[in-house]
Amino acid sequence: FSGPVHLAVDLGASSGRVIAGGLNGDRLELAETGRFVNRPLKVQDAMLWNHLQLWQDIQDGLRDAALRANSEWTGASIASVGVDTWGVSFGFVDANDQIAAPVWHYRDARHRGMAEKICEIVPKDTIFAETGMQFMDINSLCQLIAAKQNSDSVFQTAESFLMMGDLFHWLLSGERSIEASNASTTQLLNPATQTWSTKLLDGFGLPHSWFAEPTAAGTTIGTVQSSVAGETGLHGVPVILPATHDTASAVLAVPAENFAPAKPDWCYISSGTWSLMGVEVPSPVVTPLCADLNFTNEGGVQGSTRLLQNIGGLWIYQQIRAALDRQGNAPSWQEMTEAAASAPAFQLLVNPDDPALVAPDNMIDAICGLAGRTGQKVPTDNGVLFRGALEGLALRYRMCLQHLESLTDSRIETIHIVGGGSLNALLCQMTADACGRRVVAGPVEATAIGNILMQMIGSGSLHSIDEARQLVRHSFPTQTYEPQHTDRWDEPAAKFATSFE
């Protein structure tokens, strides 16, 4: 690099990383200065975030970046830092400026069934009209009500509610803020006004004082506080808010030709542990059809809306691998794809959103159990298992595409796949085939890139989303997959649709 370097801390569901990004000539280049596992921790049967370990890992990655800026990257200087994490997770800070409570993981069993239970407190229609959000057990609102019903001590001790990206920004800078994109995953924010729904806060008995007004991505909230600068070497470095919701950052880095068109001709799949499939539109679509189809209106950058659906993504595939790993037999991603590619097609129908697959102890047992219960042949071959998990995703994408087109009354020509799943060529081809649309895959590190782009916009070195996307197109290669034999997916799609109802 030469010139300003921005540091993106990206906490994904399977790993966290610290990535430095800056211009090398007219291209954006990345250098990874930290990668660490992000695994929930069981404490007294509770599934929690291991946030203190993450805070240490983050500081290690930042220190490495500061050292490399001084030694290796001649002419470069660290211009800013920002953190993104997955949605829906939050922590609390108390009046003594300390973390107030354990941070619960959204997959903890106490959240199961909460999406229905919250509607016994405030009617479902009201919650949807106020937030335009997909109903899911993992939403922050569900987690907060579970905490309340469990008499968690935060209701006595907490002063501020912070989403997890905000919590790490507070650790970095000492400043408390709530960035708007991740606030939009709480199911407490009004997407049209970008303010907290007082109707819902009152209806659910949640203290207004916990919730600061959301701040837009691109805002500088402070500088790295001196104790952290001492640990990391980031003296006086500004903390600039990226879109702290990882999906919002990933969508910003989609190499599309336009920004938030009223009639979208492209959609994205941010493909990792989850698959977030949707369009970027200028304003929220809070309609009865959106409620019926259970889509969500999340906050995008610069006032855009991410109209999308959370689909259980490569989680199942990852967990099959984890189950094999526990038997001492973990295949590589490539071995899994090869086995799936040579297995016969459509032997096993797996719905990626099946509640039985959200957090089973053993994913292979869970899928075999599901196959038995749904009258399917129980798989005995790993290739069939792997293929079933990928075909289930492609079929789900086909359904989601149809819904997106109905919701926006438009025809989508291109599906952009970004994130780790863009490296799975078989899944990309299946997606093109099942959907009958061109797939453009890449960049892989879209989330970290989007994080860096927003810091560049915030610091004035980029001036618009269009300019940012042009830089992505110019800097990172993509792979195109043309649809083939879409008709072969018609019958499985019809079966899938029936099983989905």
Nearer to ligand LRH, 250 or 371 (CB): 250
**89 near ligand ADP, rule: CB under 6 A:** no
Q: Which of these ranges, 142-150, 268-276, 351-359, 432-440, lies near ligand LRH under the rule CB under 6 A?
A: 268-276
* 230-289 positions binding ligand ADP, by CB under 6 A: 272-273
Judged by CB under 6 A, the residue of 22, 34, 61, 87 near ligand LRH is: 87
246 binds ligand LRH (CB under 6 A): yes
Map 310-354 to HEC letters. Answer: EEECCHHHHHHHHHHHHCCCCCCHHHHHHHHHHCCCCCCCCCCCC
- Given 1, 49, 73, 86, the residue binding ligand LRH (CB under 6 A): 86
Among ligand LRH, ligand ADP, none, partner that 185 touches (CB below 5 to 8 angstroms by kind):
ligand LRH
CA nearest neighbour of 412 among 420, 421, 403: 403
Q: Note whether 131 binds ligand LRH by CB under 6 A.
A: no
What does DSSP say about strands 15-24 and 27-37: parallel, antiparallel, or unpaired?
antiparallel
Among 274, 315, 476, 489, binds ligand LRH (CB under 6 A): 274
DSSP per residue, 237-250: -EEE----BHHHHH
Contact 108, 47 (CB under 8 A): yes
Q: Tell me how far apart the terminal alpha carbons of the chain are, to the nearest angstrom.
A: 52
Select 18 or 446, whichever has its Cβ closest to ligand LRH: 446
Q: Is there a contact between 188 and 201 (Cβ–Cβ < 8 Å)?
A: yes
Among 347, 423, 438, 470, binds ligand ADP (CB under 6 A): 423
Q: Which of 247, 351, 382, 422 binds ligand LRH (CB under 6 A)?
A: 247
| Token pair 């019903």: residue | 149
- Encoded amino acid at 383, one letter: G
Pairing mode of beta strands 296-299, 238-240: unpaired
- Which of residues 7, 13, 154, 468 is near ligand ADP by CB under 6 A? 13
Residue type, 438: R
Q: Does 424 bind ligand ADP (CB under 6 A)?
A: yes
In the residue annotation, 246 being an active-site residue is answered as yes
Find which of ligand ADP, ligand LRH, none residue 259 binds, CB within 5 to 8 Å per kind: none
Question: Which of ligand LRH, ligand ADP, none does 247 bind, CB closer than 5 to 8 A by kind?
Answer: ligand LRH
The catalytically annotated residue of 108, 152, 246, 433 is: 246
Q: Cβ–Cβ contacts within 10 Å for residue 109, how many?
A: 12
Backbone angles phi, psi at 491, to 5 degrees: -65, -50
Applying CB under 6 A, the residues found at the interface with ligand LRH are 13, 86-88, 106, 138, 185, 245-247, 272, 274, 276, 310
Query: Residues with catalytic annotation?
Result: 246
